[in-house]
Structure formats: structure tokens, C-alpha cells
Amino acid sequence: MVRRPAPLNPPAFARTLPGRFTSRLHDERTASLLGIALGAAVLVSFGTGLVSHFMQQPAAWMRWPSRPVNLYRVTQGVHVIGGLATVPLLLAKLWTVYPRLWQWPPVRSIGHGVQRLLVFVLVGAALFQFVTGVLNIAYWYAFRFFFTTAHYWTAYILVGALLIHIADEGAKARRAVMTRPQDAVGRRAFLLTVAGASAAIAATTVGEAVTPLARLAVLAPRRPGTGPQDVPVNKSAAATGVTAAARDPAWRLTVTGRVAREVSLTLADLRALPQHTARLPIACVEGWSVEADWRGVRLRDVLHLAGTADDARVRVESLERGGRYRASRVDPPHWHDPLTLLALGMNGAPLALDHGYPCRLIAPNRPGVMQTKWVHRLVVS
């Protein structure tokens, strides 16, 4: 005889668990509520992730504005802190649906097989995104040269699978949520526990981007108020091997490329130019951000000394020889902005070596990886 239980019945082993418990937590309504929240969170991650990607690698037609000053700070803070707070939802959702993993027979028809395959892709991509994201911000770089690219492409796979899943299951989920629940006690406690776990993660990480809450940010790898001049450092001068070159009195800032005249400036020359102040955040791609008071010369003043055309694009190069962050691109909206500085000081003191002495770029609405430290050359094109 062919064994053929109804597909949504809990598998045999689950039926041996306390019945009321499993049936309530693995039911449609719980799965649907979690699924809707998780789906929304993934779409927010996708949107904010794309902002981060295209700020760092704009397509030819893209022009990012330099304002609002804190735009990237907010989108990436939401991406990382929101992502961390979503982890309990993901775990709860998987817990809720895992009995279906053992449904028998595993495949009932071609359509059913395709549907199941899609769910595996969805779950796999989601796990991959969350796991690599968390490991990356925790500086566990087993996949150092691979993370951003893998995380980027998996995002499309995840969202593609999610949209098909919504088309497939959305109506059922809506029905499950709209109908009046029977017997809600166990479910409510379960969902409140999940929400509490999310809230606890948010509370212990949000201070990495919201300075007044910095002391609560015990789970954050970086937080305001730590590091030289109260601002964290990811890569130090020693780690990048620039210490000697940065301290060398022969250091010059040169402006070269498509300019009317090449310019070479000593640190004293830079100090003799008009000095300006800007209060701007460092907003790291890893989610932490800290505001500081920066002081230095406007990038546009230096570029104008060399006779740079208004539509020019600028490459800011550091003393660093290699490394992914040794240079960054500055487009016209950013270099024309009066807040964009080649900073010589921060928070009332000369720039610390680890923050980019003798001179570093600081500009509004820009990922931290593009706030190049230890600048020595501006290449105009």
C-alpha cells in the first residue's frame, strides 16, 4: 500500500512531540505572520543594500547627491542594525516551517517539485545573506575578497525567490492572518518572545550609529567614543604600512591629470589656505557611524588651484600601496559641496595618524570606505 499522509501534516516524529505545542507553533497563522515581517525586512535590506552598492560603484548614468548629509548613514545603519534585529525572525520562521522538510513523499508532481526547490533556494539564500552579513561585520574574514560580491548577487537570488514565493503563498498567508485565530495563547507568547529577541538585539547594537546610546551597544563591534579622538578606526596606519610615508616631511599633496596646471602642496601650504569646519559622520559600510568636527581645506579650493573643470571627476589616492580602499572616486556633486574637505584636523586637534594624517577626505552622504585617509594625490579626469 502507498503511504500518503496529507502534505501539511506534521511528520511522524513531530507528532510524538507534545501535540498542542507543535500544532500551534507550526501552524499557518504563525508562519504567515513571521513570513510577512521577514519578507518586509528582506525588501528593506535589498533596497538599502542597493544604495550601498551603487554609491560605491555608480552606473555611468548615476549621479548621487551630496545631501542629505546623513543619507548613507541612515540607509546603511538600517541595513546592518535592521538586519541583525531580523535574525530572530528568520530563526523563528525556519523553526515554524521545518516539519515540512520531512513531508512525504518529498515530491508529488513536477509543479510541487519546482515549488519545493524554490523554497530551498529561498531558505538557502536567506541563510547565506544573514550569516555572511553577520560574519562580515564581526570581522571574521574567512571570505575576505569575496563577501561583497557574493552578498550582492545572492541578494538578487533571494529577492527573486521571495517574489515568486509571495506570488505562490501570499494569498494563503493573507487569509491565515485575516481570519480570526482560535486559541492564540501559545502563539502569542511565541511571537512576543521573537519580538523581544529582536528588540534586545536592536537595543544592544543601535548605539553604534546613535551616539547617545553608545554605552548600550555591547553587541556592536565598533562604537562611538572609542578609538583615537573618540572615533573608531578600522584600518590603522600600521596595518596599512603607511606610517613612515605619512610622517615624512617630504610629503606633498599633488593635483594631476586633466588640469590646467599641476599643483604640489606641502602641509604648510595646505594650512595656509582658507580653513573651514564641517560636522560630518564617518558612516562605515559595516553599519557603525560617528559624527566629528572636521577642519581643513575645501576640496574644491584645491582643485580650483589646479584649474579643474567643473564637470571633472576626481580620484583621491592615498599613500597606501595596495588594499581595496586605497583610492576613491569623487564626482562633481561631492567635490563642489562646500562641506567636502581635505581634513587636517578633527574634534579640535590635529588629525591622528590613524585617522589619516597628514590629510584625509571627508565628504557628506558617502560610505566610510570612500573617506580616503592618508591622501597624497588627486587625479582629475
Ligand X SMILES: Nc1nc2c(c(=O)[nH]1)N[C@H]1C(S)=C(S)[C@@H](COP(=O)(O)O)O[C@H]1N2
Per CB under 6 A, the list member of 53, 235, 258, 315 interacting with ligand X is: 235
Choose the stretch contacting ligand HEM; rule: CB under 6 A; options: 128-136, 178-186, 197-205, 370-378.
Answer: 128-136
Closer of 98 and 139 to Mo ion (Cβ): 139
- Picked from Mo ion, ligand X, ligand HEM, none, the partner binding residue 128 (CB below 5 to 8 A depending on kind) is none
366 scored as a contact of ligand HEM (CB under 6 A): no
**In the range 323-352, which residues lie near ligand X by CB under 6 A?**
323, 325-326
Judged by CB under 5 A, the residue of 37, 231, 284, 359 near Mo ion is: 284
Among Mo ion, ligand X, ligand HEM, none, the one that 32 touches (CB under a kind-dependent 5 to 8 A) is none
Contact between 34 and ligand HEM by CB under 6 A: the answer reads: no
Query: In sequence order, which residues have a C-beta less than 8 Å from that of residue 221 and are 6 or more positions away?
Result: 137, 138, 139, 208, 286, 288
233 binds, among Mo ion, ligand X, ligand HEM, none (CB under 5 to 8 A by kind): ligand X
Query: Rounded CA gap, 251 and 273, in Å?
Result: 17
Among 75, 353, 374, 376, interactor with ligand X by CB under 6 A: 374
- 49 scored as a contact of ligand HEM (CB under 6 A): yes
Identify the residue among 298, 302, 371, 376 touching ligand X (CB under 6 A).
371
Question: Does 84 interact with ligand HEM (rule: CB under 6 A)?
Answer: yes
- 313: partner contacted, choices Mo ion, ligand X, ligand HEM, none (Cβ within 5-8 A by kind): none
Told to check if 222 binds ligand X by CB under 6 A, we report no
Site string for Mo ion, 316-355 (x = CB under 5 A): ----------------------------------------
How far is the C-alpha of 235 from the C-alpha of 50, rounded, in Å? Answer: 25
Cβ distance 282 to 292 under 8 Å?
yes
For 322-337, the DSSP string reads SSTTSEEEE-HHHHHS
Please, is 192 exposed, middle or buried when counting C-beta atoms within 10 Å of its C-beta (0-12, 13-18, 19+)? exposed
Instruction: Kindly state the cell numbers that stand for 195.
Output: 519580538
- The CA-based angle 108-110-111, given to 5 degrees, is 90
Q: CA-to-CA distance for 241 and 321, rounded, in angstroms?
A: 8
What is the rounded CA–CA span in Å between residue 294 and residue 142?
35
Question: Is residue 187 classed as helix, strand or coil in its secondary structure?
Answer: helix
Residue 368 binds to Mo ion (criterion: CB under 5 A): yes
CA–CA distance from 10 to each of 14, 63, 108, 176 (Å)? 6, 53, 17, 18
Q: Which three cell numbers stand for residue 256?
A: 594631476
- Write the single-letter amino acid at 99: P
Binding site for ligand HEM (CB under 6 A): 42, 45-46, 49-50, 52-53, 56, 79-80, 83-84, 87, 129-130, 133-134, 136-137, 148, 151-152, 155, 158-159, 285-286
- Which residue ranges make up the site for ligand X (CB under 6 A)? 231-235, 240, 282, 284, 318, 320, 323, 325-326, 355-356, 368-369, 371-374
